[in-house]
Amino acid sequence: MSQIPSRREETLGGYIVHGIPFPFDSDPENLAFLKKLAPIQIEQEYHITYLHSYGQDSPWFAGLSNRRLLASHDPESGYTYANPRGHDMTSGHETEWIDITERSAKVHAFTVCHFGSEEFLPETPYVLALIEFEGVDTLLLTRLLGVDPDQASLDWIGMPVRPQFLRNSKLKPTDVYFAPASLG
Amino acid sequence: MRPVYAISGGVSKFAKARPDKTFQAIVKEAYDYAIADLELDFPSFTRCVDGSVASYFSDHFTRQLMAGIMVQDYLGLVPKPGHRVEGGGATGGLCFQEAWKSVASGHMDVCVAYGFETMSRVETWKGNEFIALASDVSFDYPVGGFYSGYYAMMVTRHMKEFGTTVEQMAAISVKNHLNAYHNPYAQKRNRYTIQDVRDAPMVAWPLTRLDICVMSDGAAAVILASEDGLRRLELAGARIHHPLVQVVGIGRGTDAMRMADRPHLDYDTFMRDYATEQERNSDETRTYYRHLWERGTRYPGVHSFRAGRTAGNMAYKMAAIHYPLDDLDFVELHDAYTSSEIQTYEDLGLCRYGEGGPFAVSGKAFMPGIEYGLDLPEAPECPVNPSGGLIACGHPVGATGLMQGVFAIWQLQGSIARHFGDDTLQVKDPRRGAIHSHAGTGTYVTVSILEKAD
């Protein structure tokens, strides 16, 4: 049963103030009283638009918008990163791109977020998952769909999953998400 | 490196919001307390101190760059040397260690480490967004950036591999909140039951609101000195408290920002590079770990903090700690989540990897003399977060690691009753304690060991 709120939610909004109480004169007793003044709090806005570059990782996003999931691997050791990485952590070599779209994949760990950062609050509850791929040494953080957020279970770990791609790419890592392979 | 003594500290009241003062003035509360505890006046201490290190995590929370110099200025420390350090949740621990380095290296004889965070200036969920920006903004944040979610993923893996339960996590919440009941500096001083913790609103499955620390406004300061510094302070009229507390070990570790990128190492690599001395020297433990690996465990994956293990091993080596549970009399560790306290028991070698859950409910990490309302089979051995930790004290990020330092000094001085007005949380005759500071998903972790010097 959902909880019935008994308190109004607080927001930062307030009233414009045209005058603040202040002593009429500057005698020391009145000025000393200012120590008892409650703090004045005002709103400050902060908006900014960044031109963010994916740099050497850009092809990974280009892959998503073409329904392909890329990974980086070291050409000598074959060590493979599910998240793109321009250079290998061990050898320092420049990595090469490989395609892991068709690799078998399963849930390694997950959570259901019932709250979130302000940006994602409207999307709650949502499921975050770390995915492991056959022959890939590291994991990928993604959204998991096709499971009931109210039925979270450790049994989800190990569940075979498949990548799904947004038809209209946003050029964000959420262009790919995963769903149980059993859903076809 | 020369001996470094942690001689005094102060903590402001941690609260959900402190609109009554600017961040500079909140730091001054902690700073003034630390000076007053030396029975020095403000100008005399200013003459004695060589410089400072400032600690705060996020420029977003203050909407102010260079906040560090504004504190330095307000405290009357200009033109003495100072700098700001930043490393997420470990900022305070890093600050403590940078101040230690300033003194140990001979660069300074008296150094003050101060830190703060004022997190109330934005709404809680905007604050969570700021914190989540401490995850990769290309790959992690846009997927649904939320730190409680990241830690929840880690613990689902811990639960799956090791059988850790939500009730074991909840026991930590009960312990830390009830410890804090006796700590006047703490933000949340409540008696809860396991059921209360589980019935609290679910935040990120399986973590409820009572498994997670809260945002706070607050500050802390620690004064460190060399032997020459002690003499200088005494000549200026300071009363140096005895027993002296020496910082005998520092350690630090790091790991990949994206937890997905962390390796899954084999048994031999784990034993060679990461096992504690105690683990390596035990046939039984080597067999235990071999069985874990046979069942599929790899290290660190996302269930463990390699940075924490690295920091602990480094600090233990420097401080000649061989058996952490026996050799440490208390630990103040970074329990931003009940789950991360369990993971950190393991990283710090208080128990083996995979045994953090049972350790949490064994009783070994509880305070003696407090009735927790839990059925604890074993006697306290090494109280963990006797102060109440982050979960109950609050987590004003830049202050937290220094707050741990202050509480550790007071424990080792035996002065908890004087500072808390209650001796319930005084660990009996402690010789050595550890403080542990940890940044998001275990990216930076610091461990420092403090010990009675006389």
A33 vs B193: CA distance, rounded Å? 46
Integer Cα distance of B290 and B268 in angstroms: 9
**Phi, psi of B339, deg, nearest 5:** -65, -40
- In A32-174, beta strands by DSSP E: 70-73, 80-81, 96-99, 105-113, 126-133, 140-143, 160-165
Give the Cα-Cα-Cα angle B429, B432, B434 (nearest 5 degrees).
130
Domains defined along chain B, listed by start: 5-122+216-245 (3.40.47.10)
Contact B144 A120 (CB under 8 A): yes
The residue in chain A having the minimum alpha-carbon distance to the alpha carbon of residue B261 is A138
User: Residue A173 and residue B138: Cβ atoms within 8 Å?
Assistant: yes
How confident is the prediction for chain A on average, in pLDDT?
94
Instruction: Quote the tokens at residue B215.
Output: 């945002």
Measured CA to CA, the distance from residue B183 to residue B190 in angstroms comes to 11
Q: Is the pLDDT of residue A184 over 80?
A: no
- Chain A residue with CA closest to B164: the answer is A154
Say how many C-beta atoms besides its own lie within 10 A of residue B443's C-beta.
22
B62 vs A contacts (CB less than 8 Å): none
* Number of Cβ pairs < 8 A linking chain A and chain B: 139
| Rounded Cα–Cα distance for residues B9 and B7 (Å) | 7
Provide the 3-class DSSP secondary structure of residue B117.
strand
- Residue-wise pLDDT tens for chain B (454 aa)? 899 999 999 999 899 999 999 999 999 999 999 999 999 999 999 999 999 999 999 999 999 999 999 999 999 999 999 999 999 999 999 999 999 999 999 999 999 999 999 999 999 999 999 999 999 999 999 999 999 999 999 999 999 999 999 999 999 999 999 999 999 999 999 999 999 999 999 999 999 999 999 999 999 999 999 999 999 999 999 999 999 999 999 999 999 999 999 999 999 999 999 999 999 999 999 999 999 999 999 999 999 999 999 999 999 999 999 999 999 999 999 999 999 999 999 999 999 999 999 999 999 999 999 999 999 999 999 999 999 999 999 999 999 999 999 999 999 999 999 999 999 999 999 999 999 999 999 999 999 999 999 7
Among the partner-chain residues B125, B140, B149, the one whose CB lies closest to the CB of A111 is B149
Where on the phi/psi map is residue B39: left (φ > 0), alpha (ψ -120 to 50), or beta?
left
- B251: tokens are 């350690």
| DSSP string computed for B225-264 | E-HHHHHHHHHTT----SS-EEEEEEEEEE--SSGGG--E
The one-letter amino acid at B204: A
CB contact under 8 A, B146 and A117: yes
- Nearest CB partner across the interface for A112, out of B128, B145, B205: B205
Enumerate residues 6+ apart whose C-beta is below 8 A from A28: none
Structure tokens at A71: 């990974």
The rounded distance, in Å, linking the Cα atoms of B418 and B423 is 8
A113, A123, A127, A159: best to mutate for the B interface, most B CBs within 10 A: A113
Contact flag B142-A142 (C-beta cutoff 8 Å): no
Burial class (CB in 10 A: 0-12, 13-18, 19+), B348: buried
Sign of CA dihedral A175, A179, A181, A184: negative
Could you tell me the sign of the dihedral formed by the alpha carbons of B375, B377, B379, B384, in that order?
negative
CA-to-CA dists, residue B325 to A117, B177, B312, angstroms = 38, 22, 12
What distance in Å separates the CA atoms of residue B61 and residue B91, rounded to the nearest whole number? 15
The whole-angstrom distance between B328's CA and the closest CA on chain A is 33
> Residue ranges of the domains in chain A?
56-183
| Rounded average pLDDT over A155-178 | 98
Task: Give the list of residues 6+ apart from residue A135 with CB closer than 8 angstroms, or none.
Answer: A80, A100, A103
Residues in A closer than 8 angstroms to B138, CB to CB, are: 52, 54, 57, 173
Q: Residue B261: its chain A contacts at CB < 8 A?
A: 81, 83, 85, 89, 138-139
Residue B343 CA to residue B302 CA, distance in Å, equals: 10
Structure tokens at B134: 């401490």
Q: Identify any residues that bridge with B321 across adjacent strands, giving them in sequence order.
A: none
For residue A158, what is the nearest residue in chain B, using CA coordinates?
B160
What are the residues facing B85 on neighbouring strands?
Answer: B55
